[in-house]
Amino acid sequence: MTHVPPPFDPELAAALELIKDMISPGLTPDEIAEVRQGPGIQLLAELDLTMGGAFEVEDRQVPGPQGEPDISLLICRPAGPETAGPRPVIYHVHGGGMIIGNNRVGVDVPLAWAQALDAVVVSVEYRLAPEHPHPAPVEDVYAGLLWTADHAAGLGADPERIVIAGASAGGGLCAALALLTRDRKGPQPIGQVLMCPMLDDRNDTPSSYQMAGLGVWDRTSNETGWTALLGSRRGGPDVPAYAAPARAEDLTGLPPAFLDVGSAETFRDEVVAYASRIWQAGGVAELHVWPGGFHGFDGFAPQAALSQAARGAQVAWLRRLLGV
């Protein structure tokens, strides 16, 4: 069987051409340290998290999982007048293939939502693999959710209106968080936004073969990330759903989900399958497959028409979910 890739959207193909010398689709383990120090991460330090004064920003150290180090939360609260009632919360989990990034990565997206929705953003920093394999990342993310729910009143926020959201590895961790907090009877988010989520350690879908060597995150990168998280267990029979949500046998009782993915990216088929399994379990999900989109296209080319449509669909879903 040949694996002919679907074409990239023309605007996005042009954007890929501009960044091809800076981002290789196939990240190998020996490149992790270099990428962590790359220009993209350094630029995050210059990001205006106040969005021109719209938010008050603080970093706060809060308790991590029992017996583990504290974790850092980036808290961004609207700087405008207090509202009549508590604000909703966007609890954000950053991407980076489980191996790179911090709580600034991708936070511009939930901050833009929060401006439109008058919401608080809390972005969690979690320990990275391979130094901290599973379950360290998801346990850190769970600890941050516990703190956010317990201290929502002090943030002017509503613990009953927490939406969990993340892209790529962050989307996968949000899917795992939804499973974990359901099973532990912890705080129950009212929704989950899973943007091009990293869900399946098996790395064996048709789209993972179609997109080999293309885009910004191919099956080589995917193997690097999952092996860092799981070691020799990757792809084997004993991978827990809290590490790779595609392994979950029970998808009942989850909060409504928004899932999106590009048609021209490694994660396409696992995301479509996950949405289908939520429906099969009687759950609520909205799925968008953006034609010609590569992994994370809306972040790399935010002005492209497809990116604008994707961002608009996210905000529209959140408005319906939150009733604002």
Instruction: Give per-residue pLDDT as tens, 229-259.
Output: 999 999 999 999 999 999 999 999 999 999 9
Q: How large is the average pLDDT for residues 145-156?
A: 97
- Res 283 pLDDT > 60: yes
- pTM (2 decimals)? 0.97
DSSP state of 247: G
Say which residues have a Cβ less than 8 Å from residue 260's Cβ, sequence separation at least 6: 194, 195, 196, 271, 287, 288, 289, 290, 310, 313, 314
Length of the chain as a residue count: 324
Position 212 scores a pLDDT of: 96
Position 192 scores a pLDDT of: 98
188-202 burial: b if 16+ Cβ within 10 Å, else e: ebbbbbbbbbbbbbb
Q: How large is the average pLDDT for residues 97-118?
A: 96
Element (H, E) at 142: helix 136-150
Sign of CA dihedral 243, 248, 251, 253: negative
- Res 281 pLDDT > 60: yes
CA neighbours closer than 13 Å in the CB half-sphere of residue 91:
32
Position 81 scores a pLDDT of: 79
For residues 175 and 242, give the distance between their C-alpha atoms in angstroms, rounded to a whole number.
8
DSSP state of 69: -
Cis peptide before 6 (omega within 30 of 0): no
Position 44 scores a pLDDT of: 65
Say which residues have a Cβ less than 8 Å from residue 198's Cβ, sequence separation at least 6: 95, 97, 98, 168, 169, 171, 172, 222, 225, 267
For residue 34 the two structure tokens come to 């270099």
Closest Cα partner for 122 from 181, 163, 175, 68?
163
Position 41 scores a pLDDT of: 66
Instruction: Give per-residue pLDDT as tens, 179-201.
Output: 999 999 999 999 999 999 999 99
Instruction: Give per-residue pLDDT as tens, 37-52.
Output: 877 666 666 788 999 9
Position 2 scores a pLDDT of: 65
Going along the chain, which residue ranges are E strands?
A: 55-62, 71-78, 87-93, 120-124, 157-167, 191-195, 257-262, 285-290
User: Which SS3 state, helix, strand or coil, does residue 226 take?
Assistant: helix
Position 47 scores a pLDDT of: 83
Radius of gyration of the chain from its Cα atoms, rounded to whole angstroms: 18
Closest Cα partner for 49 from 127, 112, 117?
112
Position 42 scores a pLDDT of: 64
Position 51 scores a pLDDT of: 92
DSSP state of 80: S
What region does 81 belong to: left with phi over 0, alpha with psi -120 to 50, or beta?
beta
- Res 149 pLDDT > 80: yes
Average pLDDT score, the chain: 95
Closest Cα partner for 283 from 192, 159, 158, 174?
192
Helix runs in 69-135, H state only? 108-117
List phi, psi (to 5°) of 320.
Answer: -65, -40
- Res 1 pLDDT > 60: no
Percentage above 70 pLDDT, the chain:
98
Q: What Cα–Cα distance (Å) separates residue 22 from each residue in 44, 95, 216?
A: 16, 18, 10
Locate tokens 């800076």: which residue?
22
Closest Cα partner for 285 from 271, 270, 306?
271
